[in-house]
Structure 1
Amino acid sequence: MESSAQGSTGTETPAAPGSDGLSRVPAQSRSDAVEYGGYGAYGDDTGRERCGPADAARGEHPHSETSAPAVGLARAAAAAVAASAPSRPVVQRASVRGQILDALRTALVTGELLPGEVYSAPVLGERFGVSATPVREAMQQLAQEGAVEVVPNRGFRVAVRGARELAELAEVRALIEVPVMLRLARTVPGERWVELRPLAEASVRAAASGCRATYAEADRIFHRALLALSGNEQLVAIADDLHRRSQWPSADGPARRGRADLVADAAEHMSLLEALAAGELDVVQTLAREHFAGSSG
């Protein structure tokens, strides 16, 4: 059984605030739980990152607003009563697990969950307003993706990665994606590239917000749409997995990539799109390789 503290009897005892590093995950009661839409970041008024989809549109950080990702089970139940359908479950297990998975991914990208630290599923579940089960299931998925590792009888340790692993991910991404981009630059008509411009512009706005989680999502959306022009769904899935892995925190912490880095990274989307539309193969190759290397820094 996972726990934040375990005595000689083997029974789970609550951890004191901050005793296992979990004070970085803001507490959230069930009555205050809010529906989580899939990306964004959260924090508190001590200067830690706090942003989300709405903030990206405004380009600001509402530090006075509540935006902690959680699953609104109490509100969902109330909605069920209002809809006169109490006999059917409102939130399915897969839905809860998916929302928790999104919240944990956000916490990883923004640095709420730090490399090398162990987090207990029951404690995280308490903060999200859910049982430990969906948290544990989400963490198992993250373990398969290499973001965390299982620590028996304790929980999950956030993987510690160094510069070498990030460089290797950048190299693999380049090996897979650059040849595809060069082929697309030769074969895709100009109007198709124009269709991707709104996504590139959206990534620029997300970068300007300074929210790493919001930009990470916009970044992946742009790259997925670009590679989707190849018509190869397996390629898109593999590349997206590698892309996500490159966004997990490094041993140096996510603070290395500030707002200026995100803005510069997003600007490369626009330049890459222009080179692709113009069929400038040498420029495409150079920009793509530099983009992958920079994104892993």
Structure 2
Amino acid sequence: MQPIIDKFTNIDAVYPTLEAKEEDSILDYVWQLAMLIHPAMPKEVQGGTLEGSEAMPTFKERYNNRLIKMPLTYEEYKKNKEIQPTITGLEIDSDKFWFLLLFIWDYTQGQCFNAQEVAPSPIGELNSFIKLLSQYKTAGENPLTDQMQFSKDITLSIQINGKEMQTIQHPNTIGYLLSLCEEGFQSFCDMELENMVAMCEVPLKDTSNTESNNSQICYFTLLFKSMLQPFPNGIMTKQKRRSRNSEVSYNVTLLISRLIYLTGISQNEEFYVNERTLKGYLSNKSKLTNVRNRIY
């Protein structure tokens, strides 16, 4: 038994089109997630803006070259008597879901193993700086005319080669810097495109990162949770509850838990039996390092 698509031909497509071929429509779920987690720069077209994802050509090429080494085969997936009734019961297209599973498994591998750590982008650091100071500001709007006040004793330190060279302490000086940052952040969308790109660029660190198995489980679950919710935000037609007489589970967490076991992310058979094991992992709130995906 083979998937409905053996090889993709429309490899270079970064933006979906209305005239989608069958091979593109089978990737509906993948497109939806890819545009969320790995978006391309919006493309201006007649009548509006087109959203896309740089991850799509990579996924298609890796699929064509059989580089996605997920332990679960398509035949095993289609014949599974626990997950298939759940997928059908949730009114999810089984073949589209297969390609979503391939993409999430592969993207998780690239995110959690030997991925290169990234530093915050300039716009990200600016936003964090504004949020941090704003939460402590209690009085004064104009630092040139008002007496600025903060609820905490705040100082800003400037270091050169790790050595502190200057400390800024006056509330009005700090308030003035905050107001300048707020003005710059608010005008971000009015910048020239090349300046916007520069402000959003994330510098790469010299270190690579390998997450724990716990983090891999959490990231895999996070991606699926974002999709396994009712339309339009997710791929489910509607939320369904299991009736007393039904043997079919509509438990989304249990479905994800079973996929964790079937795809070899965990060898613990308890993942296949019930969702309590997965809930235990999620309760630890493992922190994922900010990295650039090794594959995508």
Which TM-score applies when normalising by structure 1? 0.22
| Higher strand fraction (1 or 2) | 2
Which TM-score applies when normalising by structure 2? 0.22
| Higher helix fraction (1 or 2) | 1
- Between structure 1 and structure 2, the one with the greater Rg is 2
